[in-house]
């Protein structure tokens, strides 16, 4: 079946502009994660959504970052007033969630963000 998809695959933006990154999780997966992959910091957790529960935003690096998940499926990560240090690959992952201890997370191909 279809895996996690992300768009755009690449995004170049000027410093100070806002960007939106999109994630379509695997159909039926209730848990969705955003991670950031940068040269200096490796892979870092950003935010987690599970069903209708309040999201876990503990990994967001600043209040310029926000995310939403509409209808329990598609998610959008928004970065306002982008800075050069925001340049990274933004990865989305989904997990079957619900009960039963479904641990496995499956990643999308990522969005490479470059802030000039």
Partner 1 sequence: GENVEQHPSTLSVQEGDSAVIKCTYSDSASNYFPWYKQELGKGPQLIIDIRSNVGEKKDQRIAVTLNKTAKHFSLHITETQPEDSAVYFCAASRGGGSNYKLTFGKGTLLTVNP
Q: Residue 94: CB partners within 8 Å, gap ≥ 6?
A: 4, 25, 26, 29, 31, 32, 33, 105, 106
17, 43, 61, 78: which one contacts partner 1 (CB under 8 A)?
Answer: 43
14, 42, 54, 70: which one contacts partner 1 (CB under 8 A)?
Answer: 42
Residue 60 found at the interface with partner 1 (CB under 8 A): no
Shortest distance in whole angstroms from residue 62 CB to partner 1: 18
> Which residues, in sequence order, are bridge partners of residue 76?
22, 68
- Which of 30, 29, 17 lies closest to 78 in space, CA to CA? 17
- Which of 16, 20, 11 lies closest to 82 in space, CA to CA? 16
Shortest distance in whole angstroms from residue 26 CB to partner 1: 12
- Residues 10-29 binding partner 1 (CB under 8 A) are none
Sign of CA dihedral 89, 113, 41, 77: negative
> Which residues, in sequence order, are bridge partners of residue 38?
42
Residue with Cβ nearer partner 1 (56 or 74): 56
Shortest distance in whole angstroms from residue 79 CB to partner 1: 19
Fill in the per-residue mask, 71 to 110: x = in contact with partner 1 (CB under 8 A), - = not in contact.
--------------------x---x-----x-xxxxxxxx
């Amino acid at each position: 079946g279809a895996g996690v998809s992300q768009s755009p695959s690449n995004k170049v933006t000027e410093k100070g502009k806002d960007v939106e990154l999109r994630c379509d999780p695997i159909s039926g997966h209730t848990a969705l994660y955003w991670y950031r992959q940068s040269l200096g910091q490796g892979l870092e957790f950003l935010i987690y959504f599970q069903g209708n529960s309040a999201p876990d935003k503990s990994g967001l690096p600043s209040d310029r970052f926000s995310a939403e998940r509409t209808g329990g499926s598609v998610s959008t990560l928004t970065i306002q007033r982008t800075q050069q240090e925001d340049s990274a690959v933004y990865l989305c992952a989904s997990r079957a969630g619900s009960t039963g201890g479904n641990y496995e997370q499956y990643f999308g191909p990522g969005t490479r963000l470059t802030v000039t």
